[in-house]
Amino acid sequence: MCGIVGIYRPDGLFDPAQARRDLEGAAGLLRHRGPDAQGVALMAEHGVGFAHRRLSILDLDARADQPMASADGAILLTYNGEVYNFRELRLELEAAGVRFRTESDTEVVIEGYRAWGMELLLGRLAGMFAFALYDAGERVLFLARDRAGKKPLFYAETRGGLAFASELRALFSLGVPRELDPVGLDGYLALKFVPPPRTLVRGVSKLPPACLLEARRGRPPRTARYWSPFARRASPASRDSALDLLDASFEAAVRRRLVSDVPVCLFLSGGIDSSLTAAYLARAGARDMKAYTIGYKDLPGYNEFEWSRMVAGRFGLKSSEIVLESRQVLGLLEGGVPDLDEPLADWVWLPLHALSARAREDGFKVVLVGEGSDELFFGYDVMMEGLSNLKRFSSGPWKLAAKALAAALAPVYRRASRGHRRYDLWRRAAAGEPVYMGSSIGYGKSQRGQVAGPRLLEGGDGGEGCRFIEGLYRDYREGSPRPEDWVSLISYVEFYSKMSEVLLQRVDRVTMRNSIEARSAFLDHELVELAFSIPGAWKAEGGVLKGLLKDLARRTLPAPVVDRKKMGFSFPFKEWLRGELGGLVESAFGRSRLFSEGWLQGDFCRRLLAEHRGGRVDHAPRLWAIFDLCRWHERWM
């Protein structure tokens, strides 16, 4: 797992000495992503320069350092990620006569491209990745990103070409202007993330998940999607058959994620997702693995130590418990740690940072996590609520009622600071917009006039978030073998909204800030394809959240772990916001240029904070989204 950066200037505006200095400086800013080695490689006659920071996990020999060129020098690769099936692909290539110089998965990517071409190669890679490959013979640059979007990749079109990097900070060092994108800001306010390919920075794009960008001299870059989770068209024969297939697929996924030349640990919450991972690790023979769990001194009700101890004891894990208190969190936020170059509208990055820091202190470079299961197997309360709403507003009388109610209440909600989530549901149903917008919802259209400042109202686009979700609905209708399956529609929306754009970015930025790589077995692409082939009714049978996965868990986990109320990997921000953290947020609001420059309405945001601190209403999720945005803007803009 690594950090990558590069420049592509095929029109001749390429000074090799300056390019090397620029790339070395940009790569140095990504040292946290790869503290073990740094490299720069140029193809000056092609206007190409790549740099790389390496976190050594597979083939620790220096021969596997990057950027890596093919034996004849015609292919150049800088690559961030892991290909778990690289050994199987290597055997196939060796049988075809390919000779390898290293034991790395990086070289397998190079030789796989030469043997099969880019699109076939991407279809055969099992893992997570973001990479840039330049083919001097074809004079083409490829940028590629993994199917779920686990690894980030940003790019900006520049004079004479483009620049790319794993993180925004590296692009800024290459001269990309730091200018706020008002349309990206509107998307962030609506969804608590910026819908791809936009970012919060004007002129900077992020390559969407499962996409391949192709750039050639004299042509605009072309982006195409290379994978869909609906690749497996036929459903399992029965629910029992689905459970058996899921059992085998998850076992294979866990085994794949043990491919490493360094020790692996586990983040264990005691919930079903990480506990199932622990069970299948034991099945794979991974005994005595270190497992980390976090809790809170101030609010023990958030702790899951009882359950994590039960699971660790059951499967022979070495349990390590970390206890956080509010004063520590306050210190982290006041100190700007970790220094993230994108806002994360999910405060769980704070405990994740504490876990990652401890695991890295203990010498680990790889950790297994449980991301993806809730989205694939219908695990959130809001998903069940969304299913009810989709059924309700599919009927004519409910649509008519929505139109009448939305029109009658519009004047009220131009002023009200609360109740917008329910009102905006009625408004969307009346307007024919997506009824289910996903679980990552910020400020709906009905509240945009309250939170947006005059500058954003003039230059932004209040429809940005809705258009993105509408695009997911369209993709689902056109790609799914069962477009009438609303459970799967909801899972699809979650998969490519909150999961890929919030949760996976949180995991990548925070773990990599601590130089540790996170892997999730639930995001194995074959498991994802299987999950989307299973009829939604089997996942939510009897109105039970994650019912299918719970039935699988009953085969291996203690009943109390399976049957207890879902807690999630949480953090007591809403409680602490009424204490010392409230003052920190108030101070951030007071000095933010987002308010003074007219991007946001400061009076409105301060009123939300006052209402929350007074205990009258819970505004914590929306306040965090603004607070972290203010912190980011102050640091980076």
- Residue 383 forms part of a structural domain: yes
> Can you list the alpha helix ranges (DSSP code H) found in 514-554?
525-533, 536-539, 547-553
In a shared domain, residues 331 and 233: yes
Q: Which of 571, 590, 622 is the last residue of a domain?
A: 571
Where does the pLDDT of residue 338 fall: very low under 50, low under 70, confident under 90, or very high at 90 and above? confident
Q: Which of 180, 197, 225 is the last residue of a domain?
A: 225
Q: Which of 571, 589, 609 is the last residue of a domain?
A: 571
| pLDDT for position 566 | 78
- Decide if pLDDT at 337 tops 70: no
- Decide if pLDDT at 182 tops 70: yes
- Decide if pLDDT at 232 tops 90: no
Tell me the CATH number at 452.
Answer: 3.40.50.620
In a shared domain, residues 215 and 244: no
Over residues 112-122, mean pLDDT? 98
In a shared domain, residues 257 and 194: no
Nearest Cα to Cα of residue 364 among 477, 260, 248: 260
Q: Is 381 exposed, middle or buried (0-12, 13-18, 19+ CB in 10 A)?
A: exposed
Amino acid at 25: G
Nearest Cα to Cα of residue 447 among 585, 604, 574, 609: 604
Helix (H, G, I), strand (E, B) or coil at 452: strand
- Decide if pLDDT at 327 tops 80: no
Over residues 476-483, mean pLDDT? 96
- Residue 402 forms part of a structural domain: no
In a shared domain, residues 566 and 600: no
In a shared domain, residues 13 and 135: yes
Both tokens of 335, joined, read 């100190």
Do 568 and 379 form a contact (C-beta atoms < 8 A)? Answer: no
Where does the pLDDT of residue 568 fall: very low under 50, low under 70, confident under 90, or very high at 90 and above? low
Q: Is 475 exposed, middle or buried (0-12, 13-18, 19+ CB in 10 A)?
A: middle
Where does the pLDDT of residue 349 fall: very low under 50, low under 70, confident under 90, or very high at 90 and above? confident
Percent of the chain whose pLDDT exceeds 90:
84
Q: How many domains does the chain have?
A: 3
In a shared domain, residues 372 and 514: yes
- Residue 416 forms part of a structural domain: no
Phi/psi at 293 (nearest 5 deg)? Answer: -135, 145
Question: In this predicted model, what pLDDT tens digit does every residue of 149-174 receive, in sequence order?
Answer: 999 999 999 888 999 999 999 999 99
- Decide if pLDDT at 11 tops 80: yes
Do 518 and 367 form a contact (C-beta atoms < 8 A)? Answer: yes
Question: In this predicted model, what pLDDT tens digit does every residue of 511-548 receive, in sequence order?
Answer: 999 999 999 999 999 999 999 999 999 999 999 999 99
In a shared domain, residues 537 and 588: no
Over residues 337-366, mean pLDDT? 91
pTM to 2 decimal places: 0.96
In a shared domain, residues 132 and 233: no
| pLDDT for position 569 | 63
Nearest Cα to Cα of residue 460 among 573, 599, 352, 556: 599
- Residue 418 forms part of a structural domain: no
- Residue 428 forms part of a structural domain: no
Q: Which helix (H) or strand (E) holds 383?
A: helix 381-392
- Decide if pLDDT at 616 tops 90: no
DSSP 8-state class, residue 624 = H
In a shared domain, residues 234 and 323: yes
Q: How many CB atoms lie within 10 A of CB 596?
A: 12
- Residue 420 forms part of a structural domain: no
- Mean pLDDT rounded to a whole number for the chain: 94
CA distance 463 to 103: 49
Q: How many CB atoms lie within 10 A of CB 455?
A: 16
Over residues 321-345, mean pLDDT? 83
Where does the pLDDT of residue 26 fall: very low under 50, low under 70, confident under 90, or very high at 90 and above? very high
In a shared domain, residues 351 and 241: yes
Tell me the CATH number at 154.
Answer: 3.60.20.10
CA distance 211 to 152: 12
Owning domain of residue 374 = 228-393+435-571
DSSP 8-state class, residue 267 = E
- Residue 440 forms part of a structural domain: yes
Helix (H, G, I), strand (E, B) or coil at 126: coil
CA distance 472 to 454: 30
- Decide if pLDDT at 339 tops 90: no
Nearest Cα to Cα of residue 348 among 375, 329, 364, 327: 329
- Residue 152 forms part of a structural domain: yes
Question: Cα dihedral sign for 389, 391, 394, 399?
Answer: negative
- Decide if pLDDT at 473 tops 80: yes
Nearest Cα to Cα of residue 166 among 42, 26, 49: 26
Q: Is 416 exposed, middle or buried (0-12, 13-18, 19+ CB in 10 A)?
A: middle
| pLDDT for position 53 | 97
In a shared domain, residues 561 and 600: no
In a shared domain, residues 167 and 240: no
| pLDDT for position 570 | 65
| pLDDT for position 419 | 79
